[in-house]
């Protein structure tokens, strides 16, 4: 066999190998795209079911009680007052959930803008603690812990930070009837690390088992909980928009531990250190 024939055969073999690799590459991509499409459809189905339930439940209660009032089915003043209180409570719940949907939509549509300003972190976190303590039950204590100087300052978007902490603390309050909610903050890995730890009932088991996957993937719309609504979805969108990370650990009956990290330039005024 001549060397020309050998070269020709080698070229054919290499061509066949390249063709196989290209076909394999596109086959894998096609399979992944199909998987993503199926996963996206599943997420959409779950999300729409959650939204439908969250909207329908308070609406049904409002319509039922308001119809009774219109039909004059109840004349007892105490029962009438209770029915109006129920209508008011369900109306607020409905309004809260709709506002969450609009808020989540603004982040998913990249409509949110980020403006970083330097603030005193101790004062900022203290303001969140005071607001959470005001909304907490009589048997719930909200505390703050940090190894940082009380003079430490950081570059943060105060509007987004307020939304983030409001939803994290609302989620903690929704699951803590008694005990402690702790806000830890520190400087770590060139950023601000915030932990919200509660001693509440923990998330439902199925929610907990799926959260690790959901929080790391594209399933932010599936992060729905009946008591806290879409708050965790909004937190995920905010943190991702700030190029940070969010993790959740929860154990039924023992509580929930949420850890958020966002890039942040910090300055300790007391020690004169720039981090």
C-alpha distances in angstroms, 208 versus 161, 223, 224, 248?
25, 10, 11, 8
148 lies in the same domain as 33:
no
Q: What is the pLDDT of residue 41?
A: 67
Same domain, residue pair 81 and 10? yes
Tell me how many domains the chain contains: 2
pLDDT number for residue 212: 40
> Contact 145/182 with Cβ under 8 angstroms?
yes
Same domain for 192 and 124? yes
Residues 92 and 144 grouped into a single domain: no
Contacts of 87 (CB under 8 A, 6+ apart): 61, 62, 65, 66
Q: Indicate the SS3 state at residue 92.
A: helix
Among the three residues 96, 111, 126, which one is the final residue of a domain in this structure? 111
| Ranges of the chain whose pLDDT falls below 70 | 1-8, 10-11, 15, 18, 22, 24-26, 36-37, 39-54, 74, 100, 103-113, 203-229, 269-275
Last residue of one domain, picked from the residues 83, 111, 139: 111
Same-domain status, 158 and 268: yes
Whether residues 13 and 148 share a domain: the answer is no
pLDDT at 257: 93
Domain of 100, CATH number, reads 1.10.287.130
28: buried, middle or exposed (CB in 10 Å: 19+, 13-18, 0-12)? exposed
pLDDT score recorded for residue 40: 59
CATH number for position 268:
3.30.565.10
Q: What is residue 216's predicted lDDT score, i.e. its pLDDT? A: 37
Is residue 156 within 8 Å of 239, Cβ to Cβ?
A: no
Indicate whether 125 and 92 sit together in one domain.
no
Residues in the chain: 275
Per-residue pLDDT tens digits for 224-269: 455 555 778 778 888 888 889 999 888 888 899 999 999 999 987 5
User: Are β-strands 152-156 and 266-268 bridged in parallel, bridged antiparallel, or unpaired?
Assistant: antiparallel
pLDDT of residue 133: 95
Neighbours of 39 (CB within 10 A): 13
Q: Are residues 79 and 143 both part of a single domain?
A: no
Report the SS3 class of residue 153. strand
The alpha-helical segments, DSSP class H, found in the chain are 3-70, 77-108, 121-135, 158-174, 205-216, 231-241
State how far the Cα of 98 lies from the Cα of 58, in Å rounded to an integer.
12
Whether 147 and 224 map to the same domain: the answer is yes
pLDDT of residue 186: 94
Which residue range(s) make up the domain with 142? 117-274
Sheet holding 255-263, edge to edge: 140-145, 179-188, 191-198, 255-263, 245-251
* In a shared domain, residues 66 and 32: yes
């Amino acid at each position: 066999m001549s060397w020309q024939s050998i070269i020709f055969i080698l070229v054919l073999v290499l061509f066949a190998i390249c063709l196989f690799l290209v076909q394999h590459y596109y086959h894998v991509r096609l399979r992944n795209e199909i998987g993503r499409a199926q996963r996206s459809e599943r997420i959409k189905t779950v999300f729409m079911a959650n939204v439908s339930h969250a909207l329908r439940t308070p609406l049904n209660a409002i319509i039922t009680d308001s119809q009774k009032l219109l039909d004059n089915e109840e004349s007892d003043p105490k029962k009438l007052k209770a029915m109006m209180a129920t209508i008011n409570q369900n109306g607020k719940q409905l309004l809260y959930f709709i506002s969450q949907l609009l808020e989540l939509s603004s982040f998913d549509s990249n409509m949110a803008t980020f403006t970083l300003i330097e603030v005193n972190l101790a004062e900022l976190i203290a303001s969140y603690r005071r607001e959470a303590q005001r909304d907490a039950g009589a048997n719930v204590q909200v505390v703050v812990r940090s190894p940082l100087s009380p003079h430490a300052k950081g570059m943060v978007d105060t509007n987004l930070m307020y939304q983030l902490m409001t939803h994290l603390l609302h989620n903690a309050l929704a699951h803590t009837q008694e005990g402690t909610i702790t806000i830890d903050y520190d400087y770590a890995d060139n950023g601000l690390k915030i932990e919200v730890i509660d001693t509440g009932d923990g998330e439902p088991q199925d929610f907990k088992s799926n959260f690790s996957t959901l929080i790391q993937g594209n399933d932010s719309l599936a992060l729905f909980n009946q008591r806290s609504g879409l708050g965790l979805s909004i937190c995920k969108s905010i943190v991702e928009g700030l190029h940070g990370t969010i993790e959740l650990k929860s154990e039924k009956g023992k509580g929930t531990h949420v850890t958020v990290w966002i890039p942040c330039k910090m300055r300790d005024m007391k020690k004169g250190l720039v981090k």
